[in-house]
Structure formats: C-alpha cells, structure tokens
C-alpha cells in the first residue's frame, strides 16, 4: 500500500463530515517546478480520500496580497523596481490580458498543473481579504496581540516589543504593504508608520497614519496569515515542505496560534521533501532552476506526473534532465504500466511480489492524466525510439515487427507523442551541458591522444576477458541481467571498482568513468560493446 492510501485509511477513521485539503503559494514570479510537488501530493491525498469513500474537497490558495519582496531576474529592473513592496494583486501584469502581476504568473502555473490532471478549486488571498471574510480573524489577532507576542517568544524565541502587531497595512501615500509597521490598535483603526528602513528590498515613504485594518486594507503577517486562512476556509489537511515543519518553524507556530488564538483544531499535517533541479532548491523571484512550465515541456504529462507520484514524500526528488535521467524515467513508467496491465488481467502473483506489483499499478492509477487503457497496450520503448531516430529508421515498421502485429491507433498515438519528446531529449539533453553522464563529452585533440594511448593493466585485461565471456549469452535488452553480470564478474575478480572500471569506460566511451555499465552497454548495443572490449585487450 503506497503512502497516500495509508494516510487516507487513517484519516477515514476521524469520521469527519468533510475533509478539506489545501495548499498555498505566493505567485511572485514564474512558479518553479518544486512547487508542483505540493500540488500533486495534495491532489493524490484528495483522490485517495475519495477512493476510500471520504467526502473531500481540495483548494489551492494563491496568496496574491503578499508584497513583492524580490524582483524576478528576468524582468527589467528600471521598469519594475517601483513596485517593490506593493501587494502583488495591485501590480500590473507583465503581459496584457491578465488582471495583475500575480494573476499572470498564477495562471501559468494553473495551466501546468491542470495539464497533469490536478484541478483544485482556486482561492485568491486578496479576495478573502477584500470581501471581508478575513475581518474576524484580523480582529482576533489584533485583540490578542499580547498572546501572539508570547507565542513568538516561546516557540520561535523571538522577542517582540509591546508596540509590535502581526499585521501589515497598505500605506495611504505610497501604496506599499511591505514597508509599514503597525504600532497601535485602538479597536477600530491600526496606527502605522511607513518606515524607509523597514526592509532591505523596498524603501518606505515615511508617512504616518491610521486606518481600518479590514476589507483588504492590509494583511496578517505570514505566520498568522496561514492559520487564519485555515480557520476562514475550513481546512482540515495541509502538508508542507520540510523547512516549514522543522522544530520551532512555521508549522509549530501555526499550531500554537490555532489552539491558543483561534481556538480551532490544527489541520492534519505531513512533511514532504523538496523537489530540486540539479541539486538546487528553487526560488520563483530569483529565477533559480526551471519553472514548472519549462519542465512540463520536456515530458509527456502522464510521465511528468508519474515522476512526482512514484517518489515517496519523505524522499528528496532531484531531477536533472541531462544524460540518462529521461530514458530511465520512461523505463520506470513502462515497468509500472506493465504492472497495471497485469492487475487488469487479474494475474498479480501471491505474496510479496504481488504486493509490489499492486503498488506499481496504484502509482499508475494516481498518475492518470488521460483515461487509462482498459486492456493491455504495446508501449514503444523511449530509449529505442531515440536510437532509431539517429539512424532514421521507420519507427512504425520497426515497432510493428517488434510487437508482432500492426499497432492500434492508440499505440500509434503513443509512438507519435514519444517521438516528439525524443526529439526534445536528443536536441537538448542527451548531449551538452551534462553530456559527460552519457559519455558524449566533447574532447580536445590532446584528450583524444590520451584515450588512444590508454593501456590496460594485466588485472584490467583479466576483468574484461571474464566480462566478455559472461556477457555473450545474455539478452541484449535485459538491463538488470547485464548489470548483475558486471558486478558478479567484479566480485569474482577480487578487484576494486576503481582499479578495473576505468578500462571498461575507456573501451566504450573513452573516459575513466561514466554512467551505469548496463546503461552504456544497452545504449551502445551488446555486440558492439563486446567488440570494443575485445579491441582494447
């Protein structure tokens, strides 16, 4: 049973009339692909609850009343720095046809997660505030300012002065919400100063004034805004990234505010690891990493969703599209589809093997973007498509021969789609910035001379000779069998990998190291790989 079904089964025991799943994001620029993990994780949770007979609802809040606190690197500074500190929903859109800066970037993200079958109800934070729905929560926080300060001191070890309030008001003079500091609350109005040095990323105008905090005139600070929205919306379930769930972090603060200020049950929480590109945590405003839109254009929607669904939420997900990553991902997807077909045919084996295949099939069910097939389909292997495209082989004829019959219309559609994405992969990711992972790094004449001059040691020759003998009878497409054979020969040789593997890689790709041995052999072809190994020795 995968994590989502375990959680849904446990939550069903609460017997609530409605489980309300929610997630949130500030649309401060192009939404990075890391935020997509939260959308899909909550979507999986929502659908698992429905599958288990629980009445559930799923919303996604765009917190568009937050101030612009970082200027996106891809926007001209001279045009946009004037809006630093403004509420995002009041800043004009970079492109016509959208009602605000926030709406423009939020809609791009909505289009991406809709394309991979996630359709939460969209809630705009600015509308919650301007409609007056947040007014009671605002009054509660301001009336309980002393308790709020005490919780900050106790949980976050942050001492706040007696004139500090967890509320930002929009300045009547410069319209900034990120530079004001509320220092008094008289029960009707907040008194504030727009401070020139309040923050490093925006300059306040120095105006002092007072105004009602209600109906969109300001917003609660983040650590109060989060639980306040829970109380207003009715959220009962919301996970978050591990940074918010650390001890003394945002969730611990929100938990205390729920219980001691809003007097409500804290929503059920579950932490999840980050989704990074090439090992880097991403930022919307700084432009670090790839946006969700960019990544969605290099994978078919169901494979893109599968990438997130198949990874346990407690496991960090680092996606580097270069080298072997994408072909391996397609192989994993096809392997789980095979399990799904086996389940359809009621052929799952007994015991642990059957449980594993059932989990693989369930991952496919939760990765659904388009209606899943109701009977077995032939899936053309992505890696083979890439190799055949290099030699300009007729793909339909090849796969008809491999299947042993004509492709159905659905199977032709799958082949056509994979061909499109194979073109993207071959043109951008098979070689280039990270191409050393594939053994296609461009080398200098000096390096070529060194490769030609490589002379294997006696131990390396013995290892390669044993490997050649063992590889001969193996199925040339059985990756696991090839990889296991390589390590069996290594173990029998009594040598360390670093002592003998350089000869293997030099023979096949002209380098001292590279990707997994089986991946190189399959990509090169078993017979050709054996020829190269023989040539070296």
Residues 260-301 pLDDT 10s: 999 999 999 988 888 877 655 444 444 444 788 888 888 999
Looking at domain 443-536, its CATH class is: mainly alpha
Across residues 94-111, what is the average pLDDT? 96
Do residues 218 and 177 make contact, with C-beta atoms less than 8 angstroms apart? yes
pLDDT above 60: residue 320: yes
Query: Which CA distances in Å does 264 have to 58, 82, 234, 259?
Result: 20, 40, 10, 6
Across residues 454-476, what is the average pLDDT? 89
* Total-model pTM: 0.78
CATH number of 3-135+225-277: 3.40.50.620
Query: Which CA distances in Å does 38 have to 21, 124, 241, 273, 511?
Result: 11, 17, 8, 10, 40
Two structure tokens written together for 309: 């669904």
Confidence of residue 391 (pLDDT cuts 50, 70, 90): confident
Burial class (CB in 10 A: 0-12, 13-18, 19+), 498: exposed
Residue 522, H or E segment: helix 517-524
Query: Which CA distances in Å does 225 have to 211, 220, 257, 303, 342?
Result: 19, 5, 10, 35, 48
Confidence of residue 371 (pLDDT cuts 50, 70, 90): very high
Mean pLDDT rounded to a whole number for the chain: 89
pLDDT above 90: residue 440: no
At residue 87, the 3 state secondary structure works out as strand
At residue 301, the 3 state secondary structure works out as helix
pLDDT of residue 495: 86
Confidence of residue 453 (pLDDT cuts 50, 70, 90): low
Report CA 32 to chain centroid distance, whole Å.
8
Alpha-carbon gap, residue 401 to 537, rounded angstroms? 37
Percent of the chain clearing pLDDT 70 (strictly above): 92
pLDDT of residue 149: 97
CA angle in degrees (0–180, nearest 5) for 163-168-173? 105
pLDDT, one tens digit per residue, over 215-257 is: 999 999 999 999 999 999 999 999 988 777 777 778 999 999 9
pLDDT above 90: residue 333: yes
What is the rounded radius of gyration, in angstroms, for the C-alpha atoms of the chain?
28
């Amino acid at each position: 049973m995968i994590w989502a079904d375990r959680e849904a089964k446990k939550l069903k025991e609460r017997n609530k009339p409605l489980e309300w799943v929610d997630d949130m994001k500030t649309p401060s620029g192009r939404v990075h692909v890391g935020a997509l993990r939260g959308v899909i994780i909550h979507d999986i949770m929502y659908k698992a609850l429905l599958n288990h007979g629980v009445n559930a609802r799923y919303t996604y809040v765009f917190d568009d009343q937050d101030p612009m606190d970082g200027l996106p690197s891809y926007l001209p500074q001279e045009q946009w720095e004037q809006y630093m500190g403004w509420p995002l929903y009041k800043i004009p859109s970079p492109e016509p046809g959208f009602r605000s800066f926030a709406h423009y970037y939020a809609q791009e993200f909505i289009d991406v997660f809709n394309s991979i079958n996630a359709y939460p109800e969209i809630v705009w934070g600015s509308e919650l505030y301007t409609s007056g729905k947040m007014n009671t929560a605002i009054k509660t926080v301001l009336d309980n300012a002393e308790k709020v300060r005490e919780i900050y001191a106790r949980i976050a070890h942050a001492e706040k002065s007696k004139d500090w309030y967890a509320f930002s008001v929009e300045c009547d003079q410069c319209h900034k919400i990120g530079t004001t500091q509320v220092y008094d609350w008289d029960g009707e109005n907040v008194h504030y100063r727009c401070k020139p040095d309040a923050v490093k990323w925006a300059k306040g105008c120095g105006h002092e004034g007072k105004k009602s905090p209600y109906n969109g005139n300001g917003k609660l600070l983040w650590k109060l805004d989060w639980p306040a929205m829970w109380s207003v919306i009715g959220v009962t379930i919301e996970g978050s990234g591990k940074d918010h769930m650390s001890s003394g972090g945002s969730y611990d603060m929100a938990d205390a505010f729920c219980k001691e200020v809003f007097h409500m049950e804290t929503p059920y929480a579950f932490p999840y690891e980050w989704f990074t590109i090439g090992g880097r945590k991403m930022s919307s405003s700084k432009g670090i990493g790839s946006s969700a839109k960019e990544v969605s254009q290099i994978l078919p929607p169901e494979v893109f969703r599968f990438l997130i669904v198949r990874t346990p939420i407690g496991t960090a997900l680092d996606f580097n599209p270069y080298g072997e990553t994408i072909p391996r991902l397609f192989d994993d997807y096809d392997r789980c589809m095979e399990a799904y077909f086996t389940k359809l045919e009621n052929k799952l084996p007994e015991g642990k093997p059957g449980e594993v295949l059932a989990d693989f099939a369930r991952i496919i069910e939760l990765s659904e973007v388009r209606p899943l097939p109701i009977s077995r389909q032939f899936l053309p292997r992505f890696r083979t498509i890439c190799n055949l495209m290099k030699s300009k082989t007729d793909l339909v004829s090849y796969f008809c021969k491999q299947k042993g019959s004509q492709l159905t219309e659905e199977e032709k559609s799958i082949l056509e789609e994979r061909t499109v994405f194979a073109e993207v992969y071959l043109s951008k990711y098979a070689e280039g910035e990270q191409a050393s992972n594939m053994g296609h790094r461009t080398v200098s004449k000096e390096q070529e001379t060194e490769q030609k001059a490589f002379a294997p040691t006696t131990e390396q020759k013995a290892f390669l000779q044993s490997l050649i003998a063992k590889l001969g009878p193996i199925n040339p497409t059985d990756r696991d069998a090839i990889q296991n054979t390589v390590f069996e020969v290594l173990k029998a040789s009594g040598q360390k990998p670093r002592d003998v593997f350089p000869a293997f890689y030099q023979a096949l790709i002209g380098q001292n190291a590279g990707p997994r041995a089986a991946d190189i052999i399959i990509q090169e072809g078993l017979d050709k790989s054996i020829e190269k190994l023989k040539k070296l020795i």
